[in-house]
Amino acid sequence: MNTVLDPVLVAMPDVQSSADTRHIAIQRVGVRGVRHPLLVATAAQPQATIAQWEMTVALPAEEKGTHMSRFIALLEARRAQALSPAGLAQMATDMLDQLQADAGDLSARFPYFLEKSAPVTEVRSLMDYQVCWTIRTRRQRASQFSLEVQVPVTSLCPCSKAISEYGAHNQRSHVTVRLECPAAQAPALDTLIPAIEAQASCQLWGLLKRADEKYVTEHAYENPKFVEDLVRDVAVMLQQQPGVQWFEVEAENFESIHNHSAYAVVRSA
According to CB under 8 A, which residues from 13 to 52 bind its own copies?
13-16, 20, 22, 24-37, 48-50
Q: How far is the CB of 245 from its own copies (least distance, A)?
A: 18
- List all residues 6 or more positions away from 172 whose beta carbon is below 8 Å from its beta carbon: 152, 153, 154, 204, 254
Q: Which of 41, 42, 65, 98 binds its own copies (CB under 8 A)?
A: 65
Q: Which of 5, 45, 76, 141 binds its own copies (CB under 8 A)?
A: 76
User: Could you give the CA distance from residue 235 to residue 239 in angstroms, rounded to a whole number?
Assistant: 6
Q: Which of 184, 188, 198, 236 binds its own copies (CB under 8 A)?
A: 236
Scanning 93-101, 126-134, 136-144, 182-190 for contacts with its own copies by CB under 8 A, the matching segment is: 126-134
Sequence-separated contacts (24+) of 40-45 with Cβ below 8 Å: 40/82, 40/83, 40/84, 40/110, 40/112, 41/82, 41/83, 41/84, 41/87, 42/188, 42/189, 42/190, 43/188, 43/190
Type of residue at 58: A
Residue 125 near its own copies by CB under 8 A: yes
Residue 256 near its own copies by CB under 8 A: yes
Q: How far is the CB of 184 from its own copies (least distance, A)?
A: 27
- List all residues 6 or more positions away from 170 whose beta carbon is below 8 Å from its beta carbon: 154, 155, 156, 157, 201, 220, 256
Q: Which of 69, 80, 140, 141 binds its own copies (CB under 8 A)?
A: 69
Cβ proximity to its own copies, 60 vs 243, nearer residue: 60
Cβ proximity to its own copies, 246 vs 263, nearer residue: 263
Characterise 47 by phi-psi region: left (phi > 0), alpha (psi -120 to 50), beta (else): beta
187-226: contacts with its own copies (CB under 8 A): 202, 204-211, 213-214, 216-218, 220-221, 226
